[in-house]
Amino acid sequence: MSNIKKINHVAIVVADIEQALGFWRDQLGLPLEHIEEVPSQSSKVAFLPVGEGEVELVQPTNPETGLGKYLEKRGEGMHHLCVEVNDIEGMLKLLKAKGVRMIDEDPHDLPGRRMAFIHPKSANGVLVELYELVD
């Protein structure tokens, strides 16, 4: 059975990671674990651990992508909530059977993880990411 394990991260879309770190790291005091380029998502991400989860600052690297257009239209702020699951394939099957509208019908494979997005129209206006850690 597919289960949600925990909130993995909250993603904040930002125009400039270095500027945003002025608040999240320097003023609020969250430690910066690392910054990573994610070419498959046309973004750069800063990872700031908090307890068992993270705050992720996400900067689009291409203004023509969905993330770039989101930033242009809505400005900086919360982008999505990510929940970690133990079986992403099973969770996708379960959600589809319940009529949940998906952005991704199949998971995307990235190093160490698999991910898929639920459409905000099915989640009270919140973009939800499903995330499975893999070896």
Query: What three-state secondary structure class fits 98?
Result: coil
pLDDT over 90 (residue 110): no
pLDDT band, very low/low/confident/very high, at 130 (cuts 50, 70, 90): very high
DSSP strands (E only) in 14-52: 34-38, 43-50
The pLDDT tens digits for 58-70 are 999 999 999 999 9
Mean pLDDT, rounded, for 109-121: 94
Supply angle C-alpha 113, 114, 116, rounded to 5.
Answer: 140
pLDDT over 80 (residue 47): yes
The CATH number assigned to the domain with range 4-133 reads 3.10.180.10
Which pLDDT belongs to residue 85?
A: 97
The pLDDT tens digits for 18-41 are 999 999 999 999 999 999 998 888
Nearest Cα neighbor of 44 from 29, 28, 31, 32 is: 32
Read off the tokens for 16.
């400039």
Which pLDDT belongs to residue 1?
A: 66
8 A C-beta contact, residue 28 and residue 48: no
How far is the C-alpha of 37 from the C-alpha of 17, rounded, in Å? 12
